[in-house]
Amino acid sequence: MQKHVVLPQSFAALGLETPVLEALAALKFENPTDIQKAMIPLVLAGRDVLGQAQTGTGKTAAFGLPIIQLVDPELALQALVLCPTRELAAQVVGDMRRFAKQRPIHCVPVYGGHGLRQQLHQLGRKPHVAVGTPGRVLDLLGRGALGTDAVRFIVLDEVDRMLDIGFRDDIRKILSRFPQPHQTIFVSATLSDEIKSLARQHMKDPQEVNVAGDNLTVESVEQFYCPVEPWDKYRLLRTLLRVERPRLMIVFTNTKHAARRLAKRLVADGIEAKEIHGDLVQQKREKVMERFRRHQIPVLVATDLASRGIDVTAVTHIVNYDVPHDPEVYVHRIGRTARMGTIGRALTLVTREQGHELTRIEMLINKELTPLKLDGFEPSPPPRDGPMAPIGPVPSPSSSAPGERDTPSAAAPAPARSAPATLGGRFRPARRRRL
């Protein structure tokens, strides 16, 4: 006897039909998020949409579900989705395939890192949906391999990030290749003046949807900052791992070099950690991400660009090992936790000189971060070879936890410079608070 499937009626009320509802039931989707409630009816109605919502609130389903319903299985390529990174493109194409489980809709990825010949072959099979990065999409358009005649939907996913990392010209060139009538959909965590200007040029009477409100952060993310000197950052991270006991943690650095060094040091100290950044070949990046999703790697050290596409619901902790230079990047980073209503913690390591950056973050999110003092962590004086030296191994004192190698041993000569008594856990970064 066939088991009766209960279709999610809250999605049906938005205008979605049985094949899509059956796919959602299999995925255990029960209730739409705010961005999905707002966007799905508009896309189904044929409107151009400019959608803003917090990271992790289901923006892919907000545009993906109605597109899957509206695509005609009898026609060639009808939807093109642009993403800032390969990881996000891979994530989106995976989601679109799951949404299309009950429809004969073929979705393909088109991005660098995979063989061009294979992607040309896939495009030759006349897929209905293509998801890719601007560089590869522009290349395929130039080769005439990406059909434009039947395209009805063009989506720019995380358009703010695409502009941030230098895809402005590519995006404009791509959009100019589709003069025929079509729906254009922008989705983003933030909407800058530049995005709105781009929308005015390439969208027709767009409906703006903003469910982020004035608070750009996920409410269920508990946010803290940890005062620390540069040479103590790694030791503080080790203390965080011991005290917080994260199930899945992403540690953000500002550079690929820092991510490599930090991951290598964690592994040397017996912590299962992997790095993910732009220098890794695509196959290795995908393998690392698959292991992280399966909870086989508890600590992922990532750069901002590589983190796009990390859609792992179970991430419990975000650590900003390096404070981001752009406060909006902070919003994207902490959005990797507390996804789809789960609980998460975000901890930012802030040195004395970074008070201004911390204040800019607080002004953007309209919230003060709570200072966090970790039990068992005491500041140390600067190392002999200079005040920075945050990565290179140094001898471990007998009182430290196994594997920690940041503090000079008791037998070592006195440091060249003594630190003021107000350093470490007893200081707050100098900055002006808002009135």
User: Distance between CA atoms of 218 and 361, rounded to whole angstroms?
Assistant: 14
The DSSP line for 33-100 is -HHHHHHHHHHHTT--EEEE--TTS-HHHHHHHHHHHH--TTSS--EEEE-SSHHHHHHHHHHHHHHT
**Nearest in space to 24 (alpha carbons), one of 15, 35, 16:** 16
Q: Give me the residue spans of the domains in the chain.
A: 9-210, 221-426
pLDDT of 232 reads 95
User: Distance between CA atoms of 286 and 284, rounded to whole angstroms?
Assistant: 5
pLDDT of 216 reads 52
pLDDT of 433 reads 41
51: left (phi over 0), alpha (psi -120 to 50) or beta: beta
User: Distance between CA atoms of 92 and 109, rounded to whole angstroms?
Assistant: 9
User: Distance between CA atoms of 242 and 377, rounded to whole angstroms?
Assistant: 11
Angle at 238 between CA 235 and CA 241, to 5 degrees: 155
* pLDDT surpasses 90 at 327: no
Cβ neighbours of residue 285 closer than 8 Å, sequence gap 6 or more: 86, 87, 113, 276, 306
Q: 34-44 and 59-70 are packed helices; what angle lies between their axes, rounded to 10 degrees?
A: 30
pLDDT of 217 reads 52
* pLDDT surpasses 80 at 370: yes
- Tokens at 246, concatenated: 């994260």
The predicted-structure confidence for 9-28, as pLDDT tens digits, reads as follows 999 999 999 999 999 999 99
Strand order in the sheet with 273-276: 273-276, 299-302, 249-252, 317-320, 344-350, 221-227, 370-371
pLDDT of 402 reads 32
Tell me 144's DSSP state.
T
pLDDT of 152 reads 96
Q: What is the chain's mean pLDDT, rounded?
A: 83
**Number of other CB atoms surrounding residue 362 within 10 Å:** 19
What predicted TM-score, i.e. pTM, was given to this entire model?
0.63
Structure-derived torsion over alpha carbons of residues 170, 93, 221, 52, reported in degrees to the nearest 10: 50
User: Distance between CA atoms of 371 and 242, rounded to whole angstroms?
Assistant: 18
Mean pLDDT computed over 197-223:
79
* pLDDT surpasses 50 at 70: yes
Mean pLDDT computed over 49-74:
91
Tell me 135's DSSP state.
H
- How far is the CA of 181 from the CAs of 47, 152, 154, 187, in angstroms? 12, 7, 11, 20
The predicted-structure confidence for 167-197, as pLDDT tens digits, reads as follows 889 999 999 999 889 999 999 877 888 888 8
Output phi, psi for 320, to 5 deg.
-85, 90
Instruction: Report the b/e string of 146-180 with b at 16+ CB within 10 A.
Output: bbbebbbbbbbbbbbbbbbeebeebbeebbeebee
Mean pLDDT computed over 308-319:
79
Per CATH, the homologous superfamily of domain 221-426 is P-loop containing nucleotide triphosphate hydrolases (3.40.50.300)
The DSSP line for 340-371 is GG--EEEEEEE-GGGHHHHHHHHHHHTSPPEE
Range from 48-57, 304-313, 417-426 that averages highest in pLDDT: 48-57
pLDDT tier at 394 (50, 70, 90 boundaries)?
A: very low
User: Distance between CA atoms of 240 and 236, rounded to whole angstroms?
Assistant: 6
**Nearest in space to 178 (alpha carbons), one of 79, 53, 298, 286:** 79
Beta bridge partners of 299: 249, 273
Could you tell me if 110 and 119 are in contact, meaning their C-beta atoms sit under 8 angstroms apart? Answer: yes
- Tokens at 291, concatenated: 């292991």
Fold of 9-210: Rossmann fold (3.40.50)
User: Distance between CA atoms of 150 and 96, rounded to whole angstroms?
Assistant: 19
Angle at 269 between CA 266 and CA 274, to 5 degrees: 30
Tell me 383's DSSP state.
P
Residue bearing the bigger pLDDT, 219 or 273: 273
